C-alpha cells in the first residue's frame, strides 16, 4: 500500500543517501542509470547499483536494509571530553521493546570537520583529538533519523544552518512527545529562537506551540503568546516571499489565541478588499474571535468569488468561541453550503478550537454513522472517514482519552485501521502533556 508514509520515507531515504555518497556521485549514478535503462525495463536494485558504481562502494545492502525495515532510528550522542559515543534504537512515540538495528549513514561535524560513518551496530565509539568544542550530527538535516545529544551546549556553538535548526527543534519536540524530554526544557530551546528570521523554523515552532496550546490552553498560553508576539515584530517588515508566508501564519495564530490582539486587528475587517493578502486570514480570524459575528462571515463566505478568499472567511467562522457555532457550521456542511473539499478540514479546525471542542466531539460520537456515510459517499471511498477521525479525535481524546479510545475501537473497520491506530497513539501521547 502506497500512502503518505510510504512516499515520505522513500523521499527521505533518497535524500539521505544522496547526502552520504555526495551530490556529484549521486548525480553521476542517476545519469548512468537513465542511460543504461533508457530503452529497457529496470528493477529496483538497478538504480542503487548505478549509484554504487559511481560511488565506488556497494550500498545496495544498506539501502535494502532501510527499505525492508519498518520505522527509523534515534541516535543517542554521548559527548565526552575526547570521544563521542553513538547508540541507536528504533524511535517510537510510545514505549516499546523494539530492538531493530539499522545501517545508518551518519553525517556529522566535530570542531568544524565534516565526517561520515556507516553505523551498522547498536553502539560505536569515536575518538576525537583535542576535545570537542562544537558538534552537529545529521548535517543539513539530510539523514532519516533523530538525534538526541547528552549536551546541547556544543551543538548551539556549531553554527547550525536553517535546516539543522529546524531539525534540532523538530527532534526535541518529538522527544517531548515520546517522553524523553521535558516540556520546560523544550520551551527553553524555543526561547533561543524567539527572534529568528528562519521562516522554516518559525513555522515549525508555531505548529508545535499551537499543539501545546490546544492540549492545554491555560497551561501553555504564556509561552506561545510570547513567541508569537516577538516573532510578529521580527517578520513585520521582511519582504521576501517565505517571510511573508511566515508573517501570515504568525498573525493568524496570534489572532486565534489572543483575544486582545484579535480585538485590535478586527477593526480592519471592514476594509477587507483593501488589505494585504498576507493578513486577510488573520483579520478574518480576529473578527471571528473578537465579535462572534457568524452571519457577517457567512455572508462574506457565500459571496466570495474565489476559493482562497472563501476559505479565509471559513477560518474566521471556525475561530468563533461561542459554542453555538458548531451547530451552525454542521448545518452548513450537510446542506452543502460549505464545499465538501473544505468540510473535512472544518471538522478538524473545530476540534482544534479548544473553546468549542467538546461540542464537535460530542456531535461526531453521537452521529458517527451519519458523518461516516456523508464523508465516504462524497469523498470517494471508505477510508475518508479515517482521515476525519484522525483530524478530530486526536484532539477530542485529550480531555477524555479512555472514552475516545473505546469509541474508536467500537467503530473502526478494515479500511481505516491505520488511521485509527495512529489516532489512538497520538491520544495517548498528547493526554500525557495536559
Burial class (CB in 10 A: 0-12, 13-18, 19+), 104: buried
What letters, b where the CB count within 10 A reaches 16 and e where it falls short, cover 337-363? ebeeebbbbbbbbbbbbbebbebbbeb
Burial class (CB in 10 A: 0-12, 13-18, 19+), 8: exposed
Q: Do residues 331 and 301 touch, judged by C-beta distance below 8 A? A: no
Q: How far is CA 377 from CA 78, 103, 121, 385, in A?
A: 53, 44, 50, 10
Scan for cell 550530527, then name that residue: 137
The average confidence (pLDDT) of the chain is: 93
> Which secondary structure element, helix H or strand E, spans residue 88, and what is its range?
strand 83-90
Scan for cell 523521499, then name that residue: 11
Q: Closest Cα to residue 121, out of 135, 100, 151? A: 100
> Which secondary structure element, helix H or strand E, spans residue 211, and what is its range?
helix 199-215
What is the reported pLDDT for 203? 97
CA 103 to chain centre: 26
**90 beta partners:** 73
What is the reported pLDDT for 7? 65
Residue ranges with strand state E in 111-176: 113-119, 123-127, 135-137, 146-149
Three-state DSSP class for 283?
A: helix
**Structure confidence by residue, pLDDT tens digits, 340-384:** 888 878 999 999 999 999 999 999 999 999 999 998 888 778 888
pLDDT-based confidence at residue 103 (cuts at 50, 70, 90) = very high
Burial class (CB in 10 A: 0-12, 13-18, 19+), 100: middle
Q: How far is CA 268 from CA 133, 184, 262, 296, in A?
A: 51, 36, 10, 14
Given a cut of 60, whether residue 144 has pLDDT beyond it is yes
Lowest mean pLDDT among 10-19, 165-174, 315-324: 10-19
What is the reported pLDDT for 341? 81
Q: What are phi and psi of 264, to 5 degrees?
A: -65, -40
Three-state DSSP class for 117?
A: strand
Burial class (CB in 10 A: 0-12, 13-18, 19+), 78: middle
pLDDT-based confidence at residue 66 (cuts at 50, 70, 90) = confident
**Structure confidence by residue, pLDDT tens digits, 248-282:** 999 999 999 999 999 999 999 999 999 999 999 99
- Residue 160 CA to residue 141 CA, distance in Å, equals 10
Three-state DSSP class for 216?
A: coil
Q: How far is CA 224 from CA 23, 171, 231, 353, 403, in A?
A: 39, 19, 11, 15, 29
Q: Do residues 346 and 338 touch, judged by C-beta distance below 8 A? A: yes
C-alpha cell at 432: 500525557
Q: What is the average per-residue pLDDT within 225-243?
A: 97
Q: Closest Cα to residue 232, out of 269, 265, 208, 263? A: 265
Q: What is the average per-residue pLDDT within 287-316?
A: 96
Q: Do residues 14 and 20 touch, judged by C-beta distance below 8 A? A: no
What is the reported pLDDT for 2? 44
Burial class (CB in 10 A: 0-12, 13-18, 19+), 284: buried
Given a cut of 60, whether residue 404 has pLDDT beyond it is yes
Three-state DSSP class for 202?
A: helix
**Residues 6+ away with beta carbon under 8 Å from 108:** 114, 115, 116, 117, 135, 136, 137, 138, 139
Residue ranges with strand state E in 296-377: none
Three-state DSSP class for 266?
A: helix
Q: Provide the whole-model pTM.
A: 0.92
Q: What is the average per-residue pLDDT within 389-408?
A: 96
Amino acid at each position: 500500500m502506497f500512502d503518505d508514509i510510504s512516499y515520505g520515507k522513500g523521499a527521505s531515504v533518497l535524500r539521505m543517501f544522496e547526502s552520504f555518497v555526495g551530490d556529484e556521485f549521486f548525480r553521476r549514478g542517476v545519469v548512468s542509470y537513465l542511460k543504461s535503462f533508457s530503452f529497457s525495463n529496470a528493477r529496483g536494485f538497478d538504480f542503487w547499483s548505478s549509484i554504487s558504481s559511481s560511488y565506488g562502494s556497494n550500498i545496495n545492502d544498506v539501502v535494502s536494509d532501510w527499505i525492508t525495515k519498518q520505522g527509523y532510528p534515534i541516535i543517542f550522542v554521548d559527548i565526552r571530553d575526547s570521544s563521542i559515543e553513538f547508540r541507536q534504537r528504533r524511535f517510537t512515540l510510545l514505549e516499546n521493546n523494539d530492538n531493530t538495528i539499522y545501517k545508518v549513514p551518519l553525517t556529522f561535524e566535530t570542531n568544524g570537520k565534516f565526517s561520515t560513518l556507516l553505523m551498522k551496530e547498536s553502539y560505536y565509539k569515536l575518538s576525537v583529538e583535542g576535545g570537542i568544542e562544537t558538534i552537529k550530527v545529521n548535517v543539513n538535516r539530510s539523514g532519516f533519523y533523530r538525534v538526541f545529544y547528552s549536551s546541547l551546549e556544543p551543538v548551539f556553538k556549531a553554527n547550525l544552518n536553517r535546516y539543522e535548526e529546524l531539525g534540532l527543534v523538530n527532534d526535541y519536540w518529538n522527544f517531548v512527545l515520546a517522553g524523553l524530554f521535558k516540556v520546560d526544557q523544550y520551551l527553553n530551546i524555543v526561547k533561543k529562537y524567539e527572534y529568528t528570521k528562519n521562516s522554516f523554523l518559525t513555522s515549525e515552532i508555531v505548529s508545535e506551540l499551537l499543539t501545546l496550546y490546544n492540549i492545554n490552553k491555560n497551561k501553555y498560553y504564556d509561552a506561545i503568546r510570547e513567541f508569537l508576539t516577538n516573532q510578529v515584530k521580527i517578520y513585520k517588515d521582511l519582504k521576501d516571499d517565505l517571510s511573508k508566508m511566515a508573517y501570515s501564519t504568525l498573525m493568524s495564530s496570534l489572532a486565534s489565541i489572543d483575544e486582545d490582539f484579535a480585538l485590535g486587528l478586527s477593526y480592519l475587517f471592514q476594509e477587507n478588499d483593501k488589505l494585504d493578502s498576507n493578513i486577510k486570514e488573520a483579520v478574518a480570524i480576529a473578527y471571528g474571535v473578537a465579535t462572534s459575528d457568524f452571519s457577517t462571515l457567512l455572508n462574506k463566505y457565500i459571496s466570495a468569488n474565489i476559493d482562497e478568499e472563501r476559505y479565509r472567511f471559513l477560518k474566521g467562522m471556525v475561530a468563533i468561541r461561542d459554542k453555538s457555532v458548531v451547530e451552525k457550521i454542521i448545518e452548513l456542511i450537510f446542506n452543502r453550503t460549505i464545499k465538501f473539499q473544505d468540510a473535512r478540514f472544518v471538522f478538524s479546525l473545530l476540534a482544534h478550537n479548544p473553546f468549542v471542542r467538546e461540542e464537535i466531539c460530542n456531535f461526531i460520537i453521537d452521529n458517527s454513522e451519519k458523518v461516516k456515510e456523508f464523508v465516504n459517499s462524497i469523498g470517494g471511498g471508505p477510508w475518508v472517514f479515517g482521515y476525519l477521525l484522525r483530524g478530530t479525535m486526536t484532539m477530542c481524546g485529550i480531555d477524555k482519552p479512555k472514552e475516545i479510545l473505546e469509541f474508536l475501537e467500537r467503530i473502526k473497520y478494515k479500511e481505516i485501521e491505520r488511521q485509527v491506530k495512529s489516532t489512538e497513539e497520538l491520544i495517548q501521547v498528547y493526554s500525557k502533556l495536559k
